[in-house]
Amino acid sequence: MNQLDALKQHTVVVADTGDFKQLSAYQPQDATTNPSLILKAVQKPEYAPLLSTEVAAHRGRPLDEVMDHLLVHFGCEILAIIPGRVSTEVDARLSFDTAATVARGKRLIAMYQAQGISKDRVLIKVASTWEGIQAAAQLQQAGIHTNLTLLFAFCQAVACGQAKVQLISPFVGRIYDWYKKSAGAAWVEADKAAENDPGVQSVVQIYNYYKHHGIATEVMGASFRNVGQITALAGCDLLTISPDLLATLAASDAPLLPRLHAPAARAMDIAAVHYDEAGFRFALNEDAMATEKLSEGIRAFCVDAIKLEKLLLAA
């Protein structure tokens, strides 16, 4: 049994890509997308017709609406291949606007439903700002499932649990990147591998907290830099993995055992935490890594959304 098959015995494997032609090789349960992945995909010759099709079908409509049609087109193509759910992201430029995020999430779901896709097969992806988390709470109350992304801090995870969101995506690799850069020459890779990786430790803390307190929100580790981060989180609810790392797992027959266990977490002594808006903002501000990576991530997604819009205008 290769490592990918072994991982699937303990964790739901999710493909992190907009390149849906790669999906069948790895047979993931779910798939996630974001503006950067869609931008990367539409610049490939085999996907250019999707962009042209949506521009032609919705010419004259507002640009943000055409963009959402393109995202939904990719999502529908992905859902034709996988058995589970696809995550489709709300424009990152709305990350601090609760009402606009709710409206955009509802519009995306309506577009999917117009294509015959059940809302239960779609996760609306929202940045884990305070405003985004409140928007997700409203979407959840409306029966729309959400995936809270760009999650770097424990306080973000706690607030998401309070909001009863469907799923969170803590970013393992970007946490690792920040600590490695911060340490500079003092960083010793071997000492920060596997369970000592700060990104892995973040997910483990969140997973144990959720399981101990009976929080139903699913934990999906994301943004991996190496296979060691993935294998160290075997047993997590879900892991979303890029095609290149899926290929590496599929090519290895090294042993893989679960590292995270819900029964063990339930037996731990973990105090409950609650955040109101002021407490959340202060806790996030106190975490330099999370503050920087959240802002950086939103900016990067905004840049790629604008690039995608320019391609739509040029088509």
Q: Which amino acid is at 56?
A: A
125 as an active site residue: the answer is yes
Q: Identify the active-site residue in 8, 125, 192, 293.
A: 125
**Residues designated as active site:** 125
